[in-house]
Amino acid sequence: MGFFIKDGARIWCGDLRWKQYPRKPSFRTIRRDALAMDMTHFVRTAQLPNRIGYLRLDQQRDKIHPDSLLLSVADHFGAQYFGEYEVGPDQHWLIATDDAGIPLLGSDGIYTSAEIDAVRTSFAGHTFTREGILSEDEFATLQKALPAAPIALRSISLRPYYITASAVLVSVLVVLQVARIVQQHRMEAVRLAAQKSLNHTTRPFKPPPPIAPADWVGTCLRAAHSFPVFARGWTLGHWECLDHGLTVTWQRSGGTLASAPAGEIQDSGNTVASHILLGVPPADPALPAPTLDERQFLAFIQKAGATLTVGKPSSGAARKGAGGPVPVLSASFTWQTDPQAIPWNQFRGLHVMQIARVVSASTGSGSKDTSTGGYQIQVMLDSSADPSSRHTGP
């Protein structure tokens, strides 16, 4: 896999197998994946920070310095572009870019005429405003106008690392041999000093900073609404905020796992669940103390027309009060408008446990969420909470 086209002083490189990673992969991960795909080299670029391109090279091409055809065409034509270039007999090179001009997974591949329709179907969830279907001669002419996009071909061989490690190891052994005798004399003194310091060091427990319920709700909604409804042939079907995490569930709607968002694969490859950590800021110390109780919260929800389900948590939670155990109530309801319209911080003893929503959208609505089912919200209410105490989140 991998082809090279010489154009004057430049050499174009294409037909790399690109793989998307949730974060910047280590060399160990890259080497493992390359061996699994029977590849010898890889490419890492600043334009695609979480993608690695893999290819197989012989020793004669190991030292060349090519330009990436994929990155150059994407830079030249920009966003929402689909290109199909003839690079040889019944060989067509494809590229497709998203709304930001980033090449979609599946680009930079070589396909036969019999495979073109299937590849086009994989991009069905994306809109292209420009298309370029070029013959081999037209493609040769285009190469003259393309900007430079140099890439470095890196080998997965461990030989350079072994040489460097051997030199470092020799140096380290010399230093260790010199330091060993001195270290033995000091070891006991350092151990005794450390033990003495540990015995006199107090480590008071520091509870986690309080979180205002409104801040938790706002952080959850901003994170959930940051995801598009459609992404490379996958549709956002459901999201849920629980504790300090957000889980977004994607359903396959024309795409493949190659273009799926990062996450846990479920339902035989038709569902992907992405897990995101919510960074909720601590409560503002100047935030006024809550003045309303649990009954007033339930009344607020009833007045808005929402149907409440109130009961005790399944664990039978209770808090000790001056007159004995005080039960903690749980309440769940469906909220049809923006949850941030609820004055969460005004109610004492209120803990927002969970917010979830089923997303319903069609291709006719673009990336707009047209859900009508509302937000499923679950809270806990502690009637014995101190009115002057700080707000707390989950």
CA distances from 361 to 163, 241, 251, 364 (A): 57, 20, 12, 8
Spatial separation of the C-alpha atoms in residues 85 and 96, rounded to whole Å: 12
Residue 384 — very low, low, confident or very high, per pLDDT cuts 50/70/90?
confident
Query: Tokens standing for 130?
Result: 């420009």
pLDDT of 206 higher than 50:
yes
pLDDT of 299 higher than 90:
yes
DSSP state letter for 286: T
**Which residue has better confidence, 392 or 29?**
29
For residue 58, what pLDDT is reported?
Answer: 77
pLDDT of 360 higher than 90:
no
- The set of residues, in sequence order, having a beta carbon less than 8 Å from that of 52 and lying 6+ positions away, is 18, 19, 21, 25, 30, 33, 42, 43, 44
Give whichever of 56-60, 215-219, 356-360 has the largest mean pLDDT: 215-219
pLDDT of 321 higher than 50:
no
pLDDT of 167 higher than 90:
no
Q: What is the pLDDT of residues 117-160, one digit of tens each?
A: 888 888 888 999 999 999 999 999 999 999 999 999 999 888 76
For residue 322, what pLDDT is reported?
Answer: 45
For residue 389, what pLDDT is reported?
Answer: 55
**Virtual torsion, Cα 128, 129, 135, 136, nearest 10 deg:** -70
